Each structure stands twice: as structure tokens, then as C-alpha cells.
Amino acid sequence: MKYAFPDNFWWGSASSALQTEGTREGETTWDYWFAREPNRFHNGVGPQHTSTFYQHWKTDIQLLKQLNHNSFRTSISWARLIPDGIGEVNPDAVDFYNQVIDELNEQDITPFITLFHFDMPMAMQEIGGWENRDVVDAYARYAQICFELFGDRVLHWFTFNEPIVPVEGGYLYDFHYPNVVDFRRAATVAYHTVLAHAKAVQAYRAGHYAGEIGIVLNLTPSYPRSQNPADVKAAHVADLMFNRSFLDPVLRGEYPADLVALLKSYDQLPACKPEDGFLIAEGKIDLLGINYYQPRRVKCRDSAVNPQAPFMPEWFFDSYEMPGRKMNPYRGWEIYEPGIYDILVNLRDNYGNPRCFISENGMGVENEQRFIENGQINDQYRIEFISEHLAWLHKGISEGCNCLGYHMWTFIDNWSWCNAYKNRYGFIQLDLKTQKRTIKKSGEWFAATALNNSFEKE
């Protein structure tokens, strides 16, 4: 069967500043944390020398061209642009991002720019990070500076990438700095992130720029083990906590009433100001980026909650390991292609069918050198992964979902936070010693698909 996509469909990939640039300038929480606890990072590899995009941006953009990208998302590093988060702008950073943006446009690759991809300037973390409303204001200023500097040539902006991840990693599950486990503080961080998002949207609207502004959310459809009301309720709470805590404010301009009621009943609500509601209502977006990697399967709890234990989302559900689920064993994530369709249908039916696109989807695999044939990684598994997700995406579009594109994570193997270079995601293999870039089979497959705006599959 031939799967053809609408005209002007966005084909491309995503990356982020800290994971690719290398040549660190402006300290982030990652630099600080790595200096103190290198053992937290796979093989002790930190963020200093990631995939050298800072030096090789021009030839890397050539490679994007070879992959037939018509669009590409990366982020601006707040700490590179404004090293202390709030003060002077670094002119070298302005030059660098100007060059990258201009070259992308020159090559007819539409730049999609994220303002915050997990990389908090350390100076901002030192005053409390997202727990402090002053940091919300500093971020709003940073956003406004970016719009003023680059808004004439960047027409697709994203305030945050996966804002729930720093909440989970930094304040619940101990996989990002500052390694706190405290739900109320996590809720405050999430809430202030939504306020920061809304302030950036407000600034963008006030500037009457020509483009559009959105956010990138990692949506994990929550599937109950069974239709038993207890399992269904468990899935509902997981959905409220991990999806709707950001989805509802950015698309509906308000929080789900049952999420607010639930947190209130456990005394976990962040401190709110009366004017916050108006601000959140102004944070409604033009375009939603959807990162989809895995579903969330849950069941009701098998055991009673220990009332002395810290309050956690897991007070309301257990994870459910569905027998026979397909796994990516390297990352430990389930692969469930219909999830992409379920997300789109949910947006169509319950959120007014917003303009959206898949902003990340991908498969990290360890030790890909074992698949080298004639000097090239033959990653057939990745081609299958992509084409199966695309088939479900295609079904969604044919049923009226407003999905405008598909971006892969990622173009060149890059540094994956605490996993460093363990799992490789790229269309292009990166030799860490020589920095040599070699297109994988999946890169060739994607280039052909983008060129034809279609692909064939049985």
C-alpha cells in the first residue's frame, strides 16, 4: 500500500542545544551536576563535548539537506545567550544562532526553535529554579529577547520541550538535578513552568510577529489494564498528572477541575495568585508539538499506600506490564504504534482538533556498530519503527486529524542526558573519536520518503 501525505507536510528531525552543540558556554544545571556527580552519567560522559554542532553546523545542515528535510527543530541555549540568565546578552551566541537560522532558511529548511529544552542556567537554579517566580520573569525576558533577535526569520516557536520531564526528573524521580523528591515542590515547578509559558506567549502576541508559537509535550496515552472501574480510574489519574497537567492549560487555557480537586484534597497545590488564571488563559497556543515514544499502562494499586511515604503519583496507580508487549530493550520503553493515532484522535475529539505535528518519535539502540554492512549501519529496525508509526499517523490524518508533520529524534547520534551516548537515535552515525558522520540506512529511507512525500509498505 502507498501512504501519501498532505502537501507541505513537515519532514524533519529534532535536536537540542545542550545535546548537540558541544563547546559549552554559560553554565547549566547539567554542567554543575556533572562536575559533582559524574557517576550519574553513563560511562562518566558529560555535556561538554556533545556532537560538535557548534563547529560543524554548516556541514551538518548540508547533511539535513541530504536527508531531504524541509524543517528542523533545535533549541536556543538560554545559558549560552544570557550566561547568568538575566543580564547581558552574549554577542557570540547571537552570531552563532543567527548563522544557524540563516543557513537553515538559505537551504529551505524551516527552522523550528525551542526556548527551553531541560537546560536551566545554573545562576537561575541557584535562586530556586522554577520554584522561584523571579525565574519565570527572567525566562519571559529571555523569550522576548529571542523573539526580538530572531523572530523575523523564525516563524515556529516552542516555549518548552517536554516540560513535565524536569518536573519528574528533578523533583519526583531523581534523574535530573536538583534531585529532589517532593510532590508539592514538583507541582510548584510545573505550575510556574505553565506561567512562564503563558508569559512567553503573551510577549509573542504583543510583538505582533509573523509566525506562530506553541509548546512541545511528550504525551503518553494512559491505557488501563482492564475496564474494571478501579483500573479505569487509575488510568484517568495518570492521564491527569502526566498529560493533562500541561495539555489542558495550553489548549484550553485552564487546568482540569478534577486534577485541582485531587491535589487540593492532599494539600499538594502550589501557591496561586488571583491573576494567574488570566495569564494561563492567555497562554493558548497556535501549534502543538507531540513527542511520542511510549504508552503508559496502569492498573489500580495492589497494595495500600504507606501514609508515611512521600506523596507520589503512584499513590493512585501501579504500572502494568502487559504480557507480550513489544519492547525497545535498550531504553526499556514499550513500542506501541497505535498510540500515535490515539493521541491524535483524542486531540481531534476532545481538544478541538488543534494544529499539531509529531515533534519527536524515535528508537534508541545500543551498540549499532554490530549492524554495519559495507561501512554503513543497516538499521532496518528503525525503518520498521518509523514506517509503522507513520502508517498510524496516516490513518489519523485520513480521519481528519490536523497533524502537519513528522520529525524524528534525531538527525545525528547525540548525547542523551544521563544515558550519554549509550543509545543511538540518529539517522546519521556519529563516530565519537573522529566525529565522522555516516548516513545510516534509515537516513536514506527517510530522505526518499520526504522527497516522495509518501512511502510504500505491505
> Which residues bind to ligand BGP, rule: CB under 6 A?
16, 19, 161-162, 165, 218, 291, 331, 360, 364, 409, 416-417, 419, 423
Instruction: Give the containing element (helix H, strand E) for 35.
Output: helix 29-36
* Least separation in angstroms between CB 212 and ligand BGP: 20
If the CB atoms of residues 176 and 394 are measured against ligand BGP, the closer one turns out to be: 176
For residue 307, report the phi and psi dihedrals to the nearest 5 degrees: -65, -15
Q: Residue 85: CB partners within 8 Å, gap ≥ 6? A: 78, 79, 121, 123, 124, 135, 138, 142
Q: End-to-end distance of the chain based on CA atoms, in angstroms?
A: 6
* Least separation in angstroms between CB 230 and ligand BGP: 30
Alpha helical stretches, state H, 156-256: 164-171, 183-206, 229-239, 245-252
Is 162 part of the annotated catalytic residue set? yes
Q: Dihedral of the CA atoms 280, 282, 284, 287 (nearest 10)?
A: -130
Catalytic-labelled residue, pool 21, 27, 131, 360: 360
Cell of 259: 486534577
If the CB atoms of residues 138 and 420 are measured against ligand BGP, the closer one turns out to be: 420
* Least separation in angstroms between CB 88 and ligand BGP: 28
Nearest in space to 222 (alpha carbons), one of 207, 237, 210: 237
What's the rounded Cα separation, in Å, for the pair 390 and 6? 13
Is 131 part of the annotated catalytic residue set? no
If the CB atoms of residues 50 and 144 are measured against ligand BGP, the closer one turns out to be: 50
* Least separation in angstroms between CB 126 and ligand BGP: 24
What's the rounded Cα separation, in Å, for the pair 430 and 424? 9
If the CB atoms of residues 246 and 455 are measured against ligand BGP, the closer one turns out to be: 246
Residue nearest to ligand BGP (CB): 416
- Cβ atoms of residues 81 and 142 within 8 Å: yes
Q: Residue 397: CB partners within 8 Å, gap ≥ 6? A: 5, 6, 344, 403
If the CB atoms of residues 16 and 449 are measured against ligand BGP, the closer one turns out to be: 16
* Separation in Å, CA 357 to CA 12, 88, 217, 242, 405: 11, 35, 11, 19, 5
Catalytic-labelled residue, pool 162, 168, 337, 368: 162
If the CB atoms of residues 50 and 68 are measured against ligand BGP, the closer one turns out to be: 50
* Least separation in angstroms between CB 168 and ligand BGP: 10
* Least separation in angstroms between CB 16 and ligand BGP: 5
Active site residues: 162, 360
